[in-house]
Amino acid sequence: MAELNLILLGPPGAGKGTQAERITEDFNLPYIATGNILRAAVSEGTELGIKAKSFMDAGALVPDELIIAVILERLQAADAQDGFLLDGFPRTVPQAEALGTQLAGLERHLSAVLLIDVTDEEVVRRLSGRRVSAKTGRVYHVEFDPPKNEGVCDIDGSRLIQRDDDKPETILNRLAVYHEQTEPLVGFYTELGLLRRFDGARPPVEVHDHIRAQIATLRLEDRI
Ligand code: AP5
């Protein structure tokens, strides 16, 4: 069976991380999430983290030249040779072009770009109620997906926190940045025949069922 090289696309808070957890389990793919990579770099105080922090705190994108090199190198690791799930990359047309060039040079290609669609109003509701465990990475929502015990992670009891960029004024900026810099990728990947759109307003379990069914269909059609 051909390798499965997937991209998750969508506005902040669409549910990309939530779905990624399920998809990586279904298909045993390495999960490469630029937001997680950058947040780890910030908390470890690496050179990348120091450069990225102010952009992230403001809800802006970190410069292409910082992130492209990191992700293209990550894709060359042994665990990504039979497939991958990218979340948060590419986020600009130059990032998409750089990824396309690298994959073409390796005679690899993308299988599909999974767009999770939600309205701006829903994004604000979701991000303002999101809580995460800094230790396990498990994501919750105070209303839609609460932990069993308030404020602590179901997995290991670690404390749940609110991300710095989930403050109301930063959320609005992230949305504006998405529409301006990332949304053009919808057209970019539609033209390449790779875009698959999912209604992210549905409950997580339904969104997951739709994504899984779509990947199964692609496999049946022998496209991947
Ligand atoms: P990143 O971490 O990638 O953030 P994001 O794209 O803004 O996405 P989020 O993680 O906020 O949301 P999500 O779609 O994963 O939603 P989630 O599943 O958590 O990036 C952070 C920053 O890093 C950027 O702003 C930028 O500065 C920098 N960066 C990253 N990549 C970069 C790049 N390539 N280039 C430049 N800079 C880059 O769900 C959200 C909430 O909703 C949760 O509480 C969840 O429980 C709930 N929820 C999920 N699904 C549902 C549902 N179906 N129904 C109801 N609630 C739901």
Kindly report the CATH number assigned to the domain that includes residue 109.
3.40.50.300
Q: For this structure, is 159 an active site residue?
A: no
95 occurs within a structural domain: yes
Residues 191-213, mean pLDDT to the nearest whole number? 97
Domain span at residue 92 reads: 4-30+77-119+182-223
Q: Catalytic residue at 91?
A: yes
Q: Closest Cα to atom 54, ligand 1: which residue?
A: 203
Establish whether residue 11 lines the binding site of ligand 1, counting it when its CB lies within 6 angstroms of any ligand atom.
Answer: no
Is residue 212 included in any domain, yes or no?
yes
Give yes or no for residue 88 CB within 6 A of ligand 1: yes
Tell me whether residue 174 is in a domain: no
**108 flagged as catalytic:** no
Residue 140 bridge partners (DSSP): 131
Q: Which atom of ligand 1 is nearest to the CA of 19?
A: 18
The C-alpha angle with vertex 30 and arms to 141 and 199, in degrees rounded to 5, equals: 45
128 domain residue, yes or no: no
Q: What percent of the chain has pLDDT over 70?
A: 98
State yes or no: is 131 an active-site residue: no
Q: pTM above the 0.75 mark?
A: yes
Averaged pLDDT for residues 1-18: 92
Ligand 1 within 6 A of CB of 147: no
Ligand 1 center from residue 73 Cα (angstroms):
22
Confidence band for 222, pLDDT divided at 50, 70 and 90? low
15 C-alpha vs ligand 1 centroid, how far in Å?
Answer: 7
The answer to whether 52 and 42 have CB atoms below 8 angstroms apart is: yes
**Any idea which residue has 């059609």 for tokens?**
221
- Ligand 1 within 6 A of 141 CB? yes
Q: What is the pLDDT of residue 169?
A: 86
In the residue annotation, 126 being an active-site residue is answered as no
**Residue 130 forms part of a structural domain:** no
End-to-end Cα spacing for the chain: 7
Q: Is 174 close to ligand 1, i.e. is its CB under 6 Å away? A: yes
Q: Does some domain include residue 9?
A: yes
In 107-180, alpha helices (H)? 120-128, 168-177
How confident is the model over 148-163, as pLDDT tens digits?
999 999 999 999 999 9
Tokens 């999430």, residue?
33
Is the Cβ atom of 145 under 6 angstroms away from ligand 1?
yes
What number of H helices and E strands is found in the chain? 9, 8
In a domain, 211, yes or no: yes
Provide mean pLDDT across the span 200-208. 96
Helix (H, G, I), strand (E, B) or coil at 117: strand
| pLDDT at residue 224 tops 60 | no
Report the domain count for the chain: 1
59 is a domain residue: no
